[in-house]
Amino acid sequence: MQFRMSKSEVENYFREEPVKGLREEYVVGQQRIVYVRAGERTKPLVVFVHGSPGSLSAFIHFLKDSSLLQHAQLLTIDRPGFGDANFGKAEPSLKKQAEVLMPAIRQNASGQPVILVGHSLGGPVIARMAMDYPDEIDGLVFVAASNSPDLEPNERWFRGPLHSPLFRWLIPRSFRASNDEILNLQDQLDAMLPLWKELRMPATVIQGADDKLVHPANAAFTKRQMVNAKVAVTFEDDMSHFIPWSNPETIRHAILNLLPESIAYHRSKR
């Protein structure tokens, strides 16, 4: 119910691996952020951002992927309110989430191209990071991303009461944080609408038609909004919402295919 890994669990996870996952943390204001990275700093940086609820554990298996490690440094991070990042205390503002996640990139990019991979609610988070810090982001991979405000389900009828002091302490902290940020998500997505056209870095959108949690039309929305960027769409009829676990190869291929374009885009900005 916590959707997270302890420091010792992370260490044990990589104990027998040739490449070790290094757990690091930092503080921005009141936010404590934790991430795990693997690979060489001299290579492009790929940052994985989980959904809601979730934690860095959602993508930690990618940090063992030898085909990715040949070409990139890999990093998976806890968003505010999840994992070991102020567990249970969500940050509803996507703009503020983007702000507190950026130091992880600045500490590890080493002047190399940066690709962000966001699953579910992690999708609009990486979009906001690219909108607010376009000079530091060189590619985006949206995985079952809930980017469209108009496609958000009407759940205020139960999320509102769960947010109240009467009920919020009755639910697990991971779900409490999830409820708090999803309750405000539609307003956050509305505020981002004018900013999509500013994105110019290449992107890939991965979406399954069998997704029961995020409307599949989000894929078309994202491509339509990114009018000034090259956007590829991978749409599979048999994929569900849980692509990082059910179809990791699809994400791997998307990253490897996007890397040359992101490197070229990074060089073009110099």
Q: What is the pTM of this model?
A: 0.93
Handedness of CA 227, 183, 96, 187 (dihedral sign): positive
Q: What is the pLDDT of residues 226-238, one digit of tens each?
A: 999 999 999 999 9
- Strand (E) positions, 199-268? 203-208, 231-236
Q: How far apart are CA 266 and CA 270, in angstroms?
A: 7
Q: What is the pLDDT of residues 65-80, one digit of tens each?
A: 999 999 999 999 999 9
* Nearest residue to 47 via CA among 267, 261, 251: 251
Q: What is the pLDDT of residues 51-63, one digit of tens each?
A: 999 999 999 999 9
Helix (H) or strand (E) holding 115: strand 114-119
Q: What pLDDT, on a 0 to 100 scale, did the predictor assign at position 2?
A: 54
* Residues in a beta bridge with 28: 31
1 has a pLDDT exceeding 80: no
Q: How far apart are CA 167 and CA 183, in angstroms?
A: 15
Q: What pLDDT, on a 0 to 100 scale, did the predictor assign at position 165?
A: 65
Q: What is the pLDDT of residues 130-145, one digit of tens each?
A: 999 999 999 999 999 9
Q: What pLDDT, on a 0 to 100 scale, did the predictor assign at position 168?
A: 55
Tell me the pLDDT of the chain averaged across its residues.
92
Residue type for position 143: V
Q: Phi, psi at residue 259, to the nearest 5°?
A: -55, -50
Q: What pLDDT, on a 0 to 100 scale, did the predictor assign at position 11?
A: 93
Q: What is the pLDDT of residues 79-100, one digit of tens each?
A: 999 999 888 788 999 999 999 9
Q: What pLDDT, on a 0 to 100 scale, did the predictor assign at position 132?
A: 98
The two three-digit tokens of residue 260, written as one number: 């040359």
* Nearest residue to 139 via CA among 8, 11, 263: 263
166 has a pLDDT exceeding 80: no
Lowest pLDDT segment from 41-50, 97-106, 157-166, 254-263: 157-166
The predicted model gives 209-227 an average pLDDT of: 98
